[in-house]
Structure 1
């Protein structure tokens, strides 16, 4: 990955020398070349609260029995598929860790290769721990939440000496309509964690996450409340985790087969015969008996969601239902690429082999890609390039290079990807 001034030997020597002075509660002068001002300010605050950088101790905010429930209630749980495809999977492939935390800096998930997670445990970087500035001093998660901006912290810039062999980048996730901080996403590892391409990746992920969460939650005086879906049910099938929501905000995680059936019926409002549904679900080996069994199970799943129910002969959805597929199509039909991109979270049911689903997905993917190439801004193209289906799309990456201003850090990230593709 591309180098950064934060890792240059001269700068790190200055930082280490300055950090050594912290043991005597002395913050170095800021005149002349030296430690970055934002880091110095954080060191000052950390000294005031924690005193000794050698005495920082990890604090467990949630024990294992509490953590599962806290995760389930946090908004990130609802968009984990998006976070996996945009950030966690590419970071894991690069040997980096991704941490997802709440708005107070408490880590809820730490994802990455087992060997890297094992090493991170030695500094207490594990789910359930508090990495706010108040507890751990200067770090990317804590400082990003404090400053409400994207932050990179390299090696000895950390307040705690135990963390000096690591570097990290972090950005807060905010609700796009209100600016309320919903959580923090962080990339931690060796030098690559503060490379020039990490912040653009984090920023695009945070933007996509905020857009996704704005559809699911509205801020209120007590925190976040689920968004109802109007008068009908709402089906989400783009991305990794299919869900069905009721008008009151109740959400059901769907099995792959049930998501396939609901999508096919939602896209065919006049209904589909038993044989026709079997043909759309299985290329070979499907049977009408199996279809009837799946329909019976699906009825039990959805019978309490508003007025939604299934008719037979032909199979037809009754009641008001909308979907991210339909909303993406409507946005594209109206020439509103931004709205379409907000609803499109990735390939339609990416694990599905059902012929009818693959046809729906291929059509939508081709439409949104072509619309972005023809009418999208470079920011929209870069967001699309964060999806698994477009990460190695050279035409999309070339368009980012063509449209983005020279100073945009996303250009560097696009160049790195193109170089990896042999361009």
Structure 2
């Protein structure tokens, strides 16, 4: 667990008031379309561009549209972040309270689920609509310490007039995304916020470190649950004389017999005990086993493989691939890296070598080991729909890519050279 430092800086080692005035001038000039004295930081400038294109009103009040209390409770009960509240509280809350900050935890949509910390600051947050059930996504509020880290998938500190909304320019917010350590899926954002005079540059590293501790704890919890299910599954599989696999509720494999090991099975969102077609196995029967599923391969001929692939990149915080055809339909949410890879394969139908993809992703054709490892993971769920030497979608796959309304919002988290070139090529002069 993170240990709270004994001494917390109460003021920033910079002239916060002067910096806030300068940023206010930059913000006002940018929103008015005038040349500014200096350019905002790239992460802020890109965020301002996104929210301006999205039509967010910087003068809008954000106290409407709260979720009902029972909906907040429902989301809390379903959020994986409920399991790491002790980690986040121990790592952040004591220091945040002493430094006149509050800790805020939001879900992937930017909805505030938990909020704790300094009582006077909590009251100020109430006046801003920064309260449980509020929508603090970039689409709703503009640039801020909850919504912006959710989009760019990295820690961000938003100081004073770097906020898009005028009502927030007296605040500093520092947020870090928390992702599922199993597949990179965004689980939410943890944010530390307070009056701008309490800003300290070290807050960014501190919040990021605690977010990583939370991810490590989630990894431990998952491994523990797999071990418990494996203890139940092993004797069951030992008695079967057929191809079978036991997976947890999310499709993660715990034990297998008579077939190659697959790290994860793509399960339909609604799963019953009827016969199913699953992409990694084919036709099979499914039955509950402890906190998971026993999946047994059928001996009947398998349906024709699915051939339609829809890559949905139209949203700013989550992306997915859907495969459908005569054998059925299934979807999978994509990690940021897999979204990048599948986009690059989709726009290069003739294929890309490992070196070419390494150059596209990292600007370094030598990083082929990383590319091959990631492509191996992608092929675990797309299977025969992908070819290699070079990497490409197979000829029988009908691939459709759903893009954002504005191409400049394509994969906003991505720093891959090929993606940033695409965004830049669509920017207005």
TM-score by length of 1: 0.49
Q: Which has the higher strand share?
A: 2
Q: Which has the higher helix share?
A: 1
Q: TM-score, normalised by structure 2?
A: 0.48
